[in-house]
Amino acid sequence: MIKFILRRLLLTIPTFIALMFVTFIAIRLVPGDPVEVRTGEHGISPERLAYFRHELGLDQPVWKQFLDYVWQLLHGDFGVSLSSNEKVLTEFLTLFPATLELSLAGILFAVTLGVPAGVVAAVKRGSWFDHTLMGAAVAGFSMPIFWWGLLLIMLVSEGWHLTPVAGRIDMIKFYFEPTTGFMLIDSLLSDQKGAFLSTLHHLVLPMIVLGTVPLAVIARMTRSSMLEVLSEDYVRTARAKGLSEFRVISLHALRNALIPVVTVVGLQVGGLLAGAVLTETIFSWPGVGKWLIDSIGRRDYPALQGGILLISSLVIIINLLVDVLYGAINPRIRHG
């Protein structure tokens, strides 16, 4: 097992180096000199320019610049945002809990609805419920979620006045200093009446929008995995023993059917973050996705570079964890 983890860890190192290399190159390919971007259009004297270039290490050979860059990254220095003059890492860490909260809510929504729906569809195979659900699932994973978000805002927020249009909480009524960054927890800790409800209220629509694609994928996966398991011998044995249908399905079949579903949930992480970029943009959700898009608009390249590096590292690490977890559950992967 330790050998497996070590081998998997070693395999990620080249990926990380390549990632650093790509972000390093990317910022150099972007049109515009970093010094000129910082000093504005008026220009500065050649001496000052040389000084700044020296200051930023731009007069060094490229390989040295890259090593310096890696050195900085290893020390947690992801650069300074041009627009806010704050450290990119600090900004990222302040905003990330909002994205994490949204993503967790989205995946929770997808799993709690998708797994039971998939099970019922499999058990009642060929019924109208099965057909409707599978039709909806095709629409679900074909959904342009930026449009889905706008549509829901149009119907639920504007039409029926049921939910707010943007943000994480009613900022006029409630204010408290963030302690964890997770609004649901912070609002409970704040002891302000109604703050928690207001947070939930703000979370519902973005959660549905972000959860729609994973919901469709999970429902389909659960259904087909369940259908496979239901024809297994041990399910027939369980039935033959005289167990109730509910026990057979929920205890004997579902537990085995869930293994591929868990795999799919693990694979959704990258897609979830990509979806978060769109969802956050639509709902003005102050997370890293919206921040990334805003950074492009502001031509804040250090923030963009650091943000992409941090998000991708996160995905690499999560994928690594998921892999190791499967290795622990399923020896066939470990020795494969």
Partner 1 sequence: MANPNPTPTLAPAGPLSAFWNAFSQNRGAVGGLIILLTIIVLAIFAEWIAPYSAVEQFRGMTKLPPAWAEGGDKHFLLGTDALGRDMLSRLIYGARISLFIGLAVMSVSVVVGITLGLLAAFLGGVVDSVLMRIMDLIMSIPSLVLAILVVSILGPSLTNTIVAVSVVYLPNYVRLVRGSALSEFGKDYIIAAKVAGVGPIRLMFVTVLPNCLAPLIVQAALGVSNAILEAAALGFLGLGAQPPTPEWGAMLADAREFIRSNPWIVTLPGLAILVSVVSINLFGDGLRDALDPKLRRS
- The contact set with partner 1 (CB under 8 A) reads 11, 14-15, 18-19, 22, 26, 29-31, 135, 138-139, 141-144, 146-148, 150-151, 153-154, 158, 220, 223-224, 227-228, 270-271, 273-275, 277-278, 281, 292-293, 296-297, 301, 304, 308, 311-312, 315-316, 319
Which residues have C-beta within 8 Å of that of residue 231, sequence separation ≥ 6?
none
Nearer Cβ to partner 1, position 211 or 275? 275
State the nearest-atom distance from the C-beta of 208 to partner 1, in Å. Answer: 16
State the nearest-atom distance from the C-beta of 91 to partner 1, in Å. Answer: 16
Q: φ, ψ for residue 333 (rounded to 5)?
A: -70, -40
Nearer Cβ to partner 1, position 265 or 292? 292
State the nearest-atom distance from the C-beta of 124 to partner 1, in Å. Answer: 14
Cβ–Cβ under 8 Å, residues 151 and 192: no
For residue 54, the SS3 value is: helix
Which structure tokens are listed for 63?
């390989």
State the nearest-atom distance from the C-beta of 203 to partner 1, in Å. Answer: 20
Q: Using alpha carbons, list the distances in angstroms from residue 171 to 166, 177, 328.
A: 11, 12, 45
Q: What is the per-residue DSSP string for 202-230? A: HHHHHHHHHHHHHHHHHHHHHHHHHHHHH
* Euclidean distance between CA atoms 329 and 256, whole angstroms: 12
Nearer Cβ to partner 1, position 93 or 150? 150
Residue 87, strand partner residues: 80
Nearer Cβ to partner 1, position 169 or 314? 314
CA 276 to chain centre: 6
State the nearest-atom distance from the C-beta of 330 to partner 1, in Å. Answer: 19
Nearer Cβ to partner 1, position 36 or 228? 228
Instruction: Tell me which DSSP letter residue 306 carries.
Output: H
State the nearest-atom distance from the C-beta of 326 to partner 1, in Å. Answer: 17
How many CB atoms are located within 10 Å of the residue 265 CB?
A: 21
Nearer Cβ to partner 1, position 22 or 44? 22
Nearer Cβ to partner 1, position 60 or 281? 281
Instruction: Tell me which DSSP letter residue 163 carries.
Output: S
State the nearest-atom distance from the C-beta of 105 to partner 1, in Å. Answer: 18
